[in-house]
Structure 1
């Protein structure tokens, strides 16, 4: 987010570059930067003649360069935004002559999603000298709750750790989807609100009682009744609770638990720092630590790997519902 803030701050201060090459696996920030440039570099009066949006599938590099070399009409700058520029990946290196000597009165923006330029080639090096190269990296799942917290803080909201975990579990690492759901909450909740799990359940439709977060907690506590209630709910809503996702999250939890077993310092602060988890969740690990000795944890990880293989149809004639019930029974007993 620091790189994004720097780009936006420079533009806001009138320090624009002739080329912005926005690339990478996470489209959210690529879209946000392009939108900011589209909305803020030119005045409304200048946009009519001096702002153009092109699409990679519809244009050639020659056409982009030809437009970029034009002078603005009765304005200091013109803006050209090339969306879906990844469709030009086969010919993108043909930009080199232009990027080595770009038109200073043009702000040329490329939205190059899900791919990135080769740092060893001329195009990367020439843009790096004359313009802005921005790589939007996909966040790991354990980084998303912190991202949610920072985004909301910037809008003067807070969020409970459990609520951010629920959003992450339900929506994954797709920042655009998460942002859309957050916007729904911000419309109905006043500024300064702390978003709770109940807010998420009531307005986004994610159950605060029957989700992988609560299943993990029930397993850690060896609460057989609660675990069975949750997996019964999962079996009634299989599309919202894919077995592979549940197995993956449980595998992460028990792998982390194995790491905690190996710590010489098992204080809350040490566990939080080592695992990179919020202090809110550390008691859950401490409870599971007592309930699952190191040997049992190793055994559980083996169960999870076996279930993962079976869930993909390898050497198994068992439904996902029965496979999950069998897995939970093996873990808890």
Structure 2
């Protein structure tokens, strides 16, 4: 099974495979990207008129797809068939087995399967993994996304400040499609070689650089209670964009990483960065927090966060507003 970068590299070098079977059970961004790359690369605009077909799984059968794939190209080296929403064909996907064993070499057949998982026990799945370009994408963890953002921008000639990456991840999570769209907006207004800063993210995407969970955990870490209370007050007034469940998740993650930081024998920047799964730029935040929260206090903080999380879900509470719960938590954490 090839990875994304090697597949894109082969396409760029015009090393095409007869079949691409792209699966994204939870994360579909790379499925779309590979299909779009093939659509843009293989044929010229003139060739596409006679030699490219975009099919939809809900509208065709496997036999229809195979029938199209077996046609020969007209005045071109290749014929391209892209089957979108191919998850609708999975019930009868074993019918594809005979074609996988003997594909039409002048056809590039692309299946885009989204929000479904292939059954590894099926004959066709085994054949695809053996004979086709079979690509199955898995969702990235949140702590992997900033690196992906940096690498994606680097290939386009841009850089990004670590805090700006964290702002995007906090606001958009690990939804790569949404993040990519926002990055495209920024690239459209910036010249090549520009650095994307927190200020640019705030101005053009609408994410506050001062009032977010990243700044909240930082303020808690250095015990800046006044700043933390200001951020929590802002969250209370903008609860739709700052749900308490997300704040609890971020705080729990912060203190769990702080415990891991305490346990490290080697707390140097790059060793700690690898151990915690954070950008080296942010290791200093854990270093400062470690001075204010011992392992015991960090463990107590996690217990308090879980208690407030349960209250926010209605357990042992009388529907206390989220803002009041956060204010109460800050007092217990920082005093």
Q: With structure 2 as the length reference, what TM-score do the two structures score?
A: 0.95
Alignment root-mean-square deviation, CA: 1.4
Structure 2 match to 1:14: 14
SS at match of 1:89: helix
Q: 1:162 to 1:120 in 2, by over 3 A?
A: same
Q: What is the CA–CA distance in structure 1 between the aligned matches of 2:30 and 2:140, rounded to whole Å?
A: 12
1:146, distance to aligned residue in structure 2 (A): 0.5
Query: Do the aligned partners of 1:17 and 1:130 also contact (CA within 8 Å) in 2?
Result: no
CA shift for structure 1 position 94: 2.2
Matches within 5 A, 1:163-202: 163-202=164-203
1:1-333 aligned at under 5 Å gives the runs 3-24=3-24, 25-317=26-318, 318-333=320-335
Once residues 218 and 203 of structure 2 are traced to their aligned partners in structure 1, the CA distance between those partners, rounded to angstroms, is 22
* Local SS of the residue matching 1:329: helix
Shift of 1:156: 1.1
Q: Deviation string for 1:148-167 (max 9, x for gaps)?
A: 10011111111110111011
Q: Assess if the C-alpha contact under 8 Å between 1:18 and 1:130 holds in 2.
A: no
Q: Which runs of 5+ in 2 are unaligned?
A: none
Tell me, what secondary structure is at the counterpart of 2:266?
A: coil
The range that moved more, 232-241 or 87-96, is 87-96
**Higher mean C-alpha displacement, 233-242 vs 127-136:** 127-136
Q: Secondary structure at the match of 1:91?
A: helix
Q: Deviations over 1:285-312 (max 9, x none)?
A: 0111011111111111111112222222
Looking at structure 2, the residues matched to 279 and 7 of structure 1 have their Cα atoms a distance apart, in angstroms, of: 30
Deviation, 1:4, is 2.2
Flag structure 1 segments of 5+ consecutive residues without an equivalent.
Answer: none
Deviation at 1:332, TM superposition (A): 1.4
What is the Cα deviation at residue 331 of structure 1?
1.5
Q: 1:316 to 1:149 in 2, by over 3 A?
A: same
Equivalent position SS for 1:9: helix
Q: Specify the SS of the correspondent of 2:108.
A: strand
Question: How many angstroms does 1:118 deviate by?
Answer: 2.7
TM-score where L is the length of structure 1: 0.96
The structure-2 alpha-carbon separation of the partners of 1:48 and 1:269, relative to structure 1 and needing over 3 Å to count, comes to closer
CA apart distance, 1:137: 1.5
